[in-house]
């Protein structure tokens, strides 16, 4: 088992391609090495539930049993992280680091779209300047009401500049166009269990044979199938980090005064508010609120902003959904 005992083995550089609990699989020039974070690294990363995440560029030392001890994590270019489960203030779970694009996968139904989860994930991506897009999967499912709701959501986010795809694993609709967006990028698929993240990957890359499970008809929610994050290479270029499904996304490292900048439709008005530190809530002379009143900013997005603002101000004691 890796430890901090000094040995003469040289340090090796690599990239974390899989994270399963306390173990990380690191791709090096000589192959993939199962590794664990050294004790010193864990102590220095007490604010994180996982000091090492998929996508991290690391330096490790191989130990006598052939595994590795990760001694150092290089500075992250960016990361997608959320507040860790539980009530311990300030702890973060890094889902992935050093990515080019975040794709939030939701479904038309089974489970139904979750706009709160969607907005929170978009804020997390915007706070790190990561390109983000949205996929509404399972468009083959019947239901006029569900489809009308998804069409409204598509229009709401498309007008903000987010690429939005409507896909079906069953019919193949929209999958080819979406696949083109993944080319030559390191992407992450994020979203709730049951939305079809692994099914989409299996259709695009049949060789992967990722396990999938049907949605529970009793709870109408997805069942966890993907249990760990893994970096998967795509034929012809590009890669995807497939992640376990999430039902909530507690934001962290997004100060209340910075939240407005994470809403693209707010940005053109931020400098025109009466108060420089305006939080676009109860302050007079707020241009963001005026734009919402004039229907330039969608009321639903503004209400979502306020819900997120409240949770951040409260320290995310209840992360919301």
Of 155-159, 223-227, 241-245, the one with minimum mean pLDDT is 223-227
The matching CATH number, chosen from 1.20.58.100, 3.40.50.300, 3.10.290.10, 3.40.50.170, for 94-242 is 3.40.50.300
Does this model's pTM top 0.95? no
pLDDT digits (tens, 9 = 90+) for 49-70: 899 999 999 999 998 899 999 9
Q: What is the dihedral of CA 149, 241, 80, 158, to 10 degrees?
A: -30
DSSP 146: H
**Start-end of CATH 1.10.40.50 domains in the chain:** 256-313
133-140: average pLDDT: 97
pLDDT band at 263 (very low <50, low <70, confident <90, very high): very high
* Residue-by-residue DSSP string for 71-88: EEEPPPS-EEEEEPSSS-
**Start-end of CATH 2.40.50.140 domains in the chain:** 11-73
Rounded Cα–Cα distance for residues 299 and 92 (Å)? 30
Residue 68's pLDDT is what? Answer: 96
141-157: average pLDDT: 94
CA atoms within 13 A on the CB side of 36: 15
Of 7-21, 182-196, 221-235, 301-315, the one with minimum mean pLDDT is 221-235
Q: Phi, psi at residue 144, to the nearest 5°?
A: -65, -40
Of 17-26, 123-132, 205-214, 304-313, the one with minimum mean pLDDT is 205-214
- Greater pLDDT, 113 or 246: 113
Rounded Cα–Cα distance for residues 79 and 127 (Å)? 10
Instruction: State yes or no: pLDDT of 321 exceeds 50.
Output: no
130-150: average pLDDT: 95
For domain 11-73, give the CATH number: 2.40.50.140
Instruction: State yes or no: pLDDT of 224 exceeds 60.
Output: no
pLDDT band at 243 (very low <50, low <70, confident <90, very high): confident
Classify domain 256-313 at the CATH superfamily level: Probable gtpase engc; domain 3 (1.10.40.50)
Q: How many CB atoms lie within 10 A of CB 116?
A: 16
Residue 5's pLDDT is what? Answer: 47
**Start-end of CATH 3.40.50.300 domains in the chain:** 94-242
């Amino acid at each position: 088992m890796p430890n901090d005992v000094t040995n003469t083995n040289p340090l090796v550089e690599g990239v974390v391609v899989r994270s399963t609990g306390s173990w990380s699989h690191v791709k090096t020039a000589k192959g993939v090495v199962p590794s664990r974070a050294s004790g010193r690294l864990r102590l220095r990363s007490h604010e994180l539930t996982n000091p090492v995440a998929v996508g991290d560029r690391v330096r490790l030392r191989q130990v006598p049993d052939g595994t590795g001890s990760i001694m150092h994590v290089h500075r992250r270019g960016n990361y997608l992280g959320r507040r860790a489960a539980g009530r311990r203030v300030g702890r973060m779970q890094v889902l992935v680091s050093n990515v080019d694009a975040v794709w939030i996968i939701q479904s038309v139904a089974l489970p139904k779209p979750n706009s709160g989860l969607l907005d929170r994930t978009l804020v997390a991506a915007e706070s790190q300047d990561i390109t983000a897009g949205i996929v509404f999967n399972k468009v083959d499912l019947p239901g006029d009401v569900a489809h009308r709701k998804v069409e409204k959501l598509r229009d709401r986010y498309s007008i903000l500049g987010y690429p939005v795809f409507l896909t079906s694993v069953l019919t193949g609709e929209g999958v080819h166009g979406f696949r083109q967006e993944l080319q030559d990028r390191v992407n992450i698929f994020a979203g709730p269990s049951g939305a079809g993240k692994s099914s989409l990957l299996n259709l695009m890359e049949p060789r992967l044979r990722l396990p999938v499970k049907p949605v529970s008809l009793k709870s109408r929610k997805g069942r966890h199938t993907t249990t760990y994050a893994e970096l998967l290479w795509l034929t012809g270029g590009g890669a995807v980090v497939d992640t376990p499904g999430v039902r909530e996304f507690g934001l962290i490292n997004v100060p209340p005064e910075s939240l407005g900048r994470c809403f693209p439709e707010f940005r053109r008005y931020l400098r025109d508010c009466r108060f420089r530190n305006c939080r676009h809530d109860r302050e007079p002379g707020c241009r963001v609120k005026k734009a919402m009143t004039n229907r330039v900013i969608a009321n639903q997005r503004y209400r979502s902003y306020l819900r997120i603002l409240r949770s951040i101000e409260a320290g995310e004691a209840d992360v919301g959904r």
